[in-house]
Amino acid sequence: MAAKKDIFSGSVKISQAKGLRGEISVPGDKSISHRSVMLGSIADGVTEVTGFLEGEDNLSTIGAFRSMGISIDAPGHGKVVIHGKGMDGLREPEDIIDAGNSGTTTRLLTGILSAQPFFSVITGDSSLRKRPMKRVVEPLIKMGARISGRKGGSLLPLAITGARLKGVYYKTPVASAQLKSALLLAGIYADGETAIEEPERSRDHTERMLKLFGAYVKTKGNSVIVNSTKRLNGCKIKIPGDISSAAFFVAGALITSGSELLIKDVGVNPTRTGVINILKKMGGSIEILNEREASGEPVADILVKSSRLKGVEVNWQELLSAIDEFPIICVAAAFAEGTTRITGAGELRVKESDRIAVMSGSLSSIGVKNKEEKEGITIEGLGTIEAEGGEVESHGDHRIAMSMAMAGLKCRKGVSISGAASVDVSFPGFFKTLSGVTVL
């Protein structure tokens, strides 16, 4: 076993390994799982979902819609059945909606709640209550929403009084799938047409799924338009494996000698494959096999072999479709030859943790030289040399925990991770999966 869990401290130690070999599947896509529950709840009829990610964030979304009167069966093993009540079928919740640690639940749900004929309040845990909401609140108010919150609507809790919305044209200050999706979900309720233009194209799962449920959606370049919608239709959804979860194993296989790993049924939506492009740019041996489509999303198998990586420059445009994968890209860079410089990552300072600061500190803790920048990081790669290893803290951030677990495979003393249970947010069973393919 590469992973040893301390049930008293909640820490896990990952030991040095010779490689990752075999075949795995990863949990369903987190983003698509959220959206399947949201749209299934406001559709007419039954929506059957397979491959659903049963992580804490997605369970927060299920809990939110159950509190608004939606019957949702979740028997396990990735299957969820949503008994939708139509676009006007949600009822006023009797208590505050708790989104836990999920920014996606909060921001997308705010768009839907803005159009409902009732009062609601949404909050989250201590981490989520520090994360910015004004970027979503301001354009929704332009659509006619009535939203108030701490610091002028900048922070949770948000109190939302339903209103009749009107379609708008809105040019977003940054490319953000959560912002865009909140406006699209409000837009299907709004009178007229809602048009959103981004400076760059963000992930498009909401647009694809709205079409699957029967809404009118038109995309052109970095712009998307939705019209007022009277009805969505329940459907069957097969959710592919989350490329963000697969990325940890892709990088882990690349940096450890003797690796050959096949990752089955992974979503390869082109707005999400930036991490594959960056790791290939670094010299990674990554093959995309058996490409196909499921429920409007492209899917494939990914074959990874150990590789000699080199340091590269990663700019904000390359990082846009790999923003969630910043921590694991940092780990790959730590074991590449030469220097890697990542820029344009300022958005990561307001995620589950300040991921720039946390990754800089974590790499330093295991003996990797780096320099934290205002909007990025510069990493001096070790090449084929192992790092010393040591102890790190997850800071409650699932992506930090899993990234540093992969770093442990390449450290002489391994890596002990405190707060490792945070992986359950997006990858329940992560350490078991890692142990199953680790060659010691």
Active site residues: 324
Q: Render 193-245 in DSSP notation, one character per residue.
A: EEEEE-SS----HHHHHHHHTT--EEEETTEEEEE--S--B--EEEPPBPHHH
Look up residue 378 and give its two tokens: 């510069």
Question: What single letter denotes the amino acid at residue 219?
Answer: T
Which of 396, 426, 353 minimizes the C-alpha distance to 60? 426
Q: How many CB atoms lie within 10 A of CB 7?
A: 6
Residues in the chain: 440
Give the span between the Cα atoms of 387 and 383, in whole angstroms. Answer: 10
Sheet harboring 390-393: ordered strands across? 3-6, 11-14, 415-418, 390-393
* DSSP state, residue 128: G
SS3 state at 283: coil
Sign of CA dihedral 202, 249, 131, 117: positive
Sign of CA dihedral 153, 159, 163, 169: positive
Please state the separation of Cα 216 from the chain's center in Å. 25
Helical spans, DSSP H, in 53-155: 56-66, 103-113, 134-142, 150-153
Which of 126, 65, 165 minimizes the C-alpha distance to 352? 126
Give the span between the Cα atoms of 286 and 276, in whole angstroms. Answer: 8
Beta bridge partners of 196: 170, 224
Which of 110, 269, 294, 301 minimizes the C-alpha distance to 205? 269
